[in-house]
Structure 1
Amino acid sequence: MMRWMRQWPIGLACLALAGLLIAAMTLAVTLGSVSLHPGTVWRILLHELGQRFGLALLTPDWSIQHYQIVWMIRMPRILLAALVGAGLATVGVVMQAMVRNPLADPYMLGVSSGASVGAVSVLAFGSLAAAGVYAISAGAFLGALAAAIVVYWLARQGGRIEATRLILSGVAVGYFLIGLTSLITLTSGQRDLANALLTWTLGSLAGAQWDHLALPAALLLLGVLWLVLQARALNALLTGDETAGTLGINPHALRRVLFAVISLITGTMVAVSGAIGFVGLVIPHITRMLVGVEHRRVLPVAALLGAIFLVLVDLMARTVLAPMEIPVGVITSLIGGPFFVWMLARKARSVKGFA
């Protein structure tokens, strides 16, 4: 099956996954404490979209309660889940190519923890009421970038990235930053910050609003487009620095730019959702199993798979133990932990490329 899927044209693969994403999002909107018919959901969505363009496509025949559930509560949250899932999966693809290690992801390498420190610092030393999503995103970006630089520096040995040192450095830096986040919270004197800390450490999409979507959507779109243009360079990184150099690529300069890009994407995603782990580990690996290692194929497919994955995980978070809601990061950890153990067993030999 996997060999057969690798033969699909990339446009057809993306079209099929886009259809699955729409189906997953429709399912997620319909299910919850109040169940809705898919027809009602689509009528509300088409009506609202028509209103935005000055078109009266449908006559409203639904209740105000159904309108508020679909348009004001569930739809922003589901779209945010899709954006965060796509962003984290994209970052995971790039990080694994940069360090030639399929076990790398923003959560395990401490980048998400760095973003959490930056975001919580903005709330602690600024004002909870005044710190908007842009200020939090800026703080999260700086924290993610700093963490990425430290991990990269610690993992270098003799001018090369050693896989074991990378994982150990990421885990060590991540734990340190988690402790730093807790220290900032304890010393800030702000009770409300404890709730923010819980959000960033466990990951949550609750409370998503429409004005939370513009920045992550814009950065994700621009980031994925730019990374697709760098697909040849990312392919070269997989072959090693020496081979990449013979192809006219400066691997060290490229990595510096890539670190900035993935830190910006990770910081923005963490700012709106918290540190959701293992998406950047699981999805890129599955993607490469399905479509191969060519990054012109891997990047768009991973983004779509990541979006589908997190939409479904968020649906589970809302419904499995309803009315209690499970943090999204808890579910991704329950899925990603065993997956990581399986990958360790599968990659027990020295990892020099991707399967």
Structure 2
Amino acid sequence: MPDLALSVLDLVPVRSGQTSADAVAASVALAERADALGLHRYWLAEHHNMPSVASTNPPVLLGVLAGRTRRIRLGSGGVMLPNHAPFVIAEQFAALEAAAPGRIDLGVGRAPGSDPVITALLRSEGHTSDVDRFPEHVRDIEALLGADGAGLPLATGEEYTVRATPAAAGAPVLWLLGSSDYSAELAGRLGLPYVFAHHFSGQGTEHALELYRSRFEASEHLGEPRTFLTANVVAAPTAAAADRLALPQLQHMARLRTGTPLTALDTVEAAEAAVLTSAQQELVDTMRSRWFVGEAAEVAERLTAFAERFGVDEVMISPAAGAFAADPIGRVPAREATLELLAAHLPQRSLAAA
């Protein structure tokens, strides 16, 4: 089986009975395990005001992980740029790069990813119109992170230089993330690495990657297209065990998509006892068919075929295994086991810094 680099996408899930501190502790343990196993990168998503998700502030949590890991690349998957001032994001990730040189990725997305109330709280002016300025803000961040900084023209005709950090020796690798044609085309035009959110729905990946590759223009930082795939994954010693472990997250996503009020994630036992509507069960079945759930060797084979189909050498997995009621409150052993089992079946290859 060809070597395939594995990476991790983490939302810092919160299960029933956990505090936010417990959930963060579990993700720190997961990141430490990914680092020890030789996985390539560990990214945190940005979500707000959700009872099951504690990854509200990727830069802060990445600072914690930078101090607890040794070699793995750390990044955002992603920062929802319309929610934030570009200068603030540039400063935060420049500081992370200074703390963990050569290990930081800055993945940015165009969607606000929140409801209007949250958007108003995140941006003092309460506007969502910055979505339209996404390309401009991406360019601003690129300039701000560079050693020369960005030049702002003043009314006096003078230029005011702004830098995200006073003496940059390096910069985070900037990635564009998306689930539509827009981001694929923009990433190609700007000559930036790109990731399509395959784990969202499992559809549209082939078209998005073809569009990105066909529109790619070499840039100062990247000479050819660079991309990888994302996938929801549960690996276990047996297929039956994996199916049980996948239930809490599958049911939670079905409730989300049917507008059911959300809670923290169920334990495996609670998920097995849950009664779903027919619409929710249909969603569970559809998502289950698109996820990579099963015995470890079989999942490893499917991930390799998945990567070969789309011509990539890296897959970023969202380890979607749930927890049992008796599991340690500050760990999710089945998430850690998914990484361990796949690393055992997929010898980790060394990739370039990006």
Whether the TM-score (by the shorter chain) exceeds 0.5 is no
The structure carrying a bigger strand percent of its residues is 2
Structure with more contact order per residue of length (Cα contacts < 8 Å, sep ≥ 6): 1
The structure carrying a bigger helix percent of its residues is 1
TM-score, scaled to structure 1 = 0.25
